[in-house]
Amino acid sequence: MKMRCEERDGVGTCGDEARATEKMKMKKLDPPPTPPHYNPNPSPNLGSFSSGSSNPCIPPEMVHADMENFLCELLVDTNQPISERFRALFSLRNLKGPAPRDALIRATRDSSNLLAHEAAFALGQMQEIQAIPALASILNDLSLHPIVRHEAAEALGAIGSDINVPLLNNSLDLDPAQEVRETCELALQRIHHLKHAAISDQLSATDASPFKSVDPAAPATSSLSVDQLREVLLDEEKGMYGRYAALFALRNDGGNKAVAAIVDSLGSKSALLRHEVAYVLGQLQDKVASAALSNILRDVTEHPMVRHEAAEALGSIADDQSVALLEEFTADPEPLVSQSCEVALSMLEFERSGKSFEFLFTRNPVEHSNGSS
């Protein structure tokens, strides 16, 4: 699926802001600064590479339009390293307005399927209604990699508009990739859930993810036990939405039995479900999952979208064995995998050096009008 960079309070570190400001003054994109050399013996308990600390430099409303332009240009500059372009992407997803939206839309057609699918994901997480035509075009374009089409379908479900239903139904019937069809099924069920909940005024507080993500399915009811949720998740005869709902309920539980059930579901027949399971294990950052995720990354016969998600999850867990494996697979012949490892390691380097991976980040999107400063 996607690298989900959690949103935080404040903006990027003063060092990040100063580097970006200097680049903007030069009116061109200089080669990005080289991250500090990775320390193979870091101090323990540093946590996830995507939850880094920051020293707020300027308040969100003071982000200058030139910074926005810099980020938009960096995102679509194919001459820049993939990790630097992800830094821009993770910053732009916290800015609303036509320029960030248009840059993300352009990125959905990038030659890097990893970046393209992440840009589509970001548009869904931002719930950018004005991006619907672009996302619909992506879903209909069978020349694009299935992981990009899948992400466009998921983004349409995240936006949650009824206008997307005919398109999703059409792709559910006609798309040749099973992972895309299953994503359309999920998106349609999510839209139905939102509509029903709005009519009955029953949208539950438990629908909101504690991880601040717009999930493809609402978590199953809290009245179900961990054992019951495990049974649903592992049942190959159940519908995909119900299994996802069980998965997110187990994630929100987060206990040992819940994590064990999630790990067991890595053996599912559905590549779509396996990739979401790997993503959830990355959110949980539980080292118990390291061995299973490592086996997935090593398995060259596994679907690339699952291996990519396993790589990201290992970066979140970030123990010595996981990091060593990520370094090894930066040379993987599958770009989705090698680039995922490269970005994960770069994020970890920034985290462990006490710097933010993003150039800026905010709790809530900041919208700039034309000419704002």
Indicate the annotated binding residues for Fe cation. 117-118, 150-151, 275-276, 308-309
The rounded distance, in Å, linking the Cα atoms of 294 and 125 is: 28
State the binding site. Answer: 117-118, 150-151, 275-276, 308-309
Neighbours of 301 (CB within 10 A): 5
Q: Which two tokens stand for residue 145?
A: 């990699």
Are the CB atoms for 338 and 70 separated by under 8 Å?
A: no
Residue 162 CA to residue 159 CA, distance in Å, equals 9
For residues 47 and 316, give the distance between their C-alpha atoms in angstroms, rounded to a whole number. Answer: 8
Q: How far apart are CA 312 and CA 48, in angstroms?
A: 11
What does 112-165 look like in DSSP terms, one character per residue?
-HHHHHHHHHHHHHTT-GGGHHHHHHHHH-TTS-HHHHHHHHHHHHHHT-GGGH
- Residue 146: CA atoms inside 13 Å, Cβ hemisphere, count? 17
CA contacts within 13 A on the Cβ side of 226: 13
CA pair distance 313, 340, nearest whole angstrom: 10
Report residue 321 as tokens. Answer: 């064995």
Residue 49 CA to residue 315 CA, distance in Å, equals: 7
> Which residues make Cβ contacts (< 8 Å) with residue 346, sequence separation at least 6?
35, 83, 86, 357
C-alpha–C-alpha distance, residues 183 and 151, integer Å:
8
Cβ count near 144 (within 10 Å): 21
- Residue 3's nearest CA partner among 271, 259, 315 is 315
| Residue 330 and residue 315 in contact, taking contact as beta carbons nearer than 8 Å | no
Distance of alpha carbon 316 from alpha carbon 282, whole angstroms: 5
Tokens standing for residue 273: 């479900």
State the DSSP H helix or E strand holding residue 367, giving kind and residue range, or none if neither: strand 366-367
